[in-house]
Chain A
Amino acid sequence: MNNTGANNNIIEVKNLVKEFKGLKAVDGITFSVREDEIFGFLGPNGAGKTTTINIICTLLSMTSGEVTLNGYNVARERNKIRNCIGMVFQDPSLDDRLTALENLYFHGLLYNIPRRTLKERSEEVLDMVNLSSRKNNLVMTYSGGMKRRLEIARGLLHYPKILFLDEPTLGLDPQTRNKIWDYIIKLKKSKDITIFLTSHYMEETEICDRIAIIDNGKIIALDSPDNLKSIIGGDIITILSEDNIKLKEYIKGITGSEVHDAKEGKIRFEVKNSSIFIPKFIKNSPVKILSISARKPTLNDVFLDLTGREIREENASARDNIRSRMMGRMRH
């Protein structure tokens, strides 16, 4: 794999712990982000993604651990860190009673960009996210997708070394979500910039060079998307049958792999090569098969494999729901 020389790392996090009133939101995580990569934080709501990002970008103090960014210590050199990061928050942080250009102007002054440069750069970043034609409109007239694009543009205005994107597609419709990712990919191609993003949409994090899967405040896997997917034996097979219990026993016997219950009364398991497995399986099955399907593994399967749960919000357990709600309340 790539060389992991320490000087290539732009962010180093060691044994980071954050407690909120005895509850461990971040539970001793260690990782590093390499310069110029797209690094993804993947996990369900309340897993500790936003808390970790908030600590790295100086918004939150840590309970214990050590974090450096671009060689600066997060606890001691806050303003130096603030100068070299760009943030796109989960909740919009634009002023909706100002125009796009005014939002950028305020941002530029806060980051000490000289006025002449500021004008040029505002045009440049607005152009990049295709908002030039709406630059003098109040942000309150923007759609959700446009707001997010403007936030990305604003995050880039002071030419940060690292851009943080916390759930950049949260609350957007699928089409708009795709567009946002297109902008992010375009951005990565045109600039030397490190991107640190979080998402709980599995498919979307596949553009990352490396992904850390985080659950209950711990990193449970960290690798490239392809390597993560190779954790899964091969293909995912989903079956609907007349007698799941009997079939489960049979599959365990012939493949040796775990069989899980899936949605709509189906069962699922993994095999090395589905195209060879399926014809033989159907011929020899002791139970009548009503439907069978096979597909390549996704990051969602990886998460399921590692935690026994699905990542999607609607499938989160009651405990996770309460946890994420509490985290939400304590996030500041």
Chain B
Amino acid sequence: MKKELIGVYIIWLRDIKRYLRDKPRIIGSLAQPILFLFVLGTGIASSFSTFGGGGGKDFLNFMFPGIVGMTVLFTSFFGAMSIVWDREFGFLREVLVAPISRTSIVVGKLLGGSTIAMIQGSIILLFSPLLKIPITFAIFFKVLFIMFLVAITISAMGIVLASVIKSMQAFQVITNFLLMPMFFLSGALFPLNNTVKWMNVVSKINPLSYGIDAMRTMILNNPALQLYPLWLDIMVLVSVTLVMSILGAVLFSRQD
């Protein structure tokens, strides 16, 4: 048991060390959310006055938790998908022949990817004063908890996919056909309660919707923007996290 925990720790530590040493990656992965928030967000917000209607400032605030969610989504997904090439060309092979179980590798990878996603998400949270959104320590830790749940869910989903699909080409396809729709239909960029029916239905099976809803409730505390009660958000997230993690561990342990 102790040996397995050490295995988990090693996988986690390796991911963290790699992350902290890769400065271009840190900067690069923050560029996207910042671009979304301050360029796209500001642009869309100002277009409200062109097409009638106000609330541009409110829109930026609305989008902010969505961008935190987006950061967590992309960071944790790519972290988990690194298994695809790591297995072929890298360090993972070394871990696979070591005397530790596949489950420990999966748990280590989940925790490593999630830790990095939480760090990245927290950095985005630091921009809240620019939007004049007050974030107390209590709110920060609550949001951190949701980020953790979302990150584990998405990482586990990445591991499930990496276990089933093994080529780099397929990875590109998944990014376009799964990750982007998940992001667009999560309520990150626009409210889901006033959209067309099919979007509303799809968003209900998207685990990210619940994560972003929970973060929005915690950060903005505006009942008008809330889709589901907080307890429901958390329950859905915890359930999906458990199911995905178990599925990931089982699929990854299969030997071909």
Contact = CB atoms under 8 A, between A and B. Distances in A.
Interface of A: 57-61, 79-80, 82-83, 85, 87, 89, 91-95, 97-98, 102, 106-107, 109-112, 138, 154, 329, 331-332
Nearest to A94: B91
Nearest to A80: B99
B22 to A, nearest CB: 7
14 contacts: A82-B97, A82-B98, A82-B99, A87-B97, A89-B93, A91-B89, A93-B89, A93-B90, A95-B14, A97-B18, A110-B6, A110-B95, A112-B99, A154-B94
Nearest to A140: B21
B18 A110 contact: no
Contacts of B95: 110
A58 B92 CA distance: 14
A79, A110, A332 — most chain B CB neighbours (10 Å): A110
B14 A98 contact: yes
A328 to B, nearest CB: 9
Closest 4 CB pairs of A and B: A82-B99, A110-B98, A93-B94, A93-B93
Contacts of A332: 87-88, 166, 256
Given A89-B93, A95-B91, A111 B98 contact: yes
A109 B256 contact: no
B130 to A, nearest CB: 32
Contacts of B99: 79-80, 82-83, 110-112
Which of B88, B101, B166 gathers the greatest number of chain A CB atoms within 10 Å? Answer: B88
A300 B239 CA distance: 61
Interface in B1-60: 3, 6-7, 9-10, 13-14, 17-18, 21-22
Given A109-B6, A110-B7, A110-B10, 9 more contacts: A61-B256, A91-B88, A91-B89, A94-B94, A97-B17, A97-B18, A110-B95, A112-B6, A332-B88
Contacts of B90: 91-93, 95
A102 B7 CA distance: 15
B46 to A, nearest CB: 42
Contacts of A82: 97-99
Contacts of A112: 3, 6, 99
A112 B99 CA distance: 9
A145 to B, nearest CB: 18
Nearest to B13: A106
Interface size class of B (residues with CB under 8 A): 20 to 34
B100 interface: yes
B6 A59 contact: no
Contacts of B94: 87, 89, 93-94, 107, 154
B97 A109 contact: no
B255 interface: yes
Interface in B58-108: 87-101
A332 B18 CA distance: 24
B255 A61 contact: yes
A106 B6 CA distance: 10
Contacts of A331: 88
A235 to B, nearest CB: 44
A85 B21 contact: no
A72 to B, nearest CB: 12
Interface string B208-244: 0000000000000000000000000000000000000
B150 to A, nearest CB: 26
B14 A109 contact: no
A109 B2 CA distance: 11
B164 to A, nearest CB: 12
A153 to B, nearest CB: 13
A59 B90 CA distance: 14
Given A61-B255, A98-B14, A106-B10, A93 B91 contact: yes
A109 B10 contact: yes
B171 to A, nearest CB: 14
Contacts of A98: 14, 17-18
Residue with the highest number of chain A CB atoms closer than 10 Å, among B3, B13, B96: B96
A59 B87 CA distance: 11
A110 B100 CA distance: 7
A61 B256 CA distance: 6
Contacts of A80: 99
Contact of A102 (B3, B17, B93, B101): B17
Contacts of B100: 79, 110
Contacts of B166: 332
A185 B191 CA distance: 68
B6 A60 contact: no
B113 to A, nearest CB: 16
A82 B104 CA distance: 15
A164 B216 CA distance: 54
A69 to B, nearest CB: 12
A331 B96 CA distance: 14
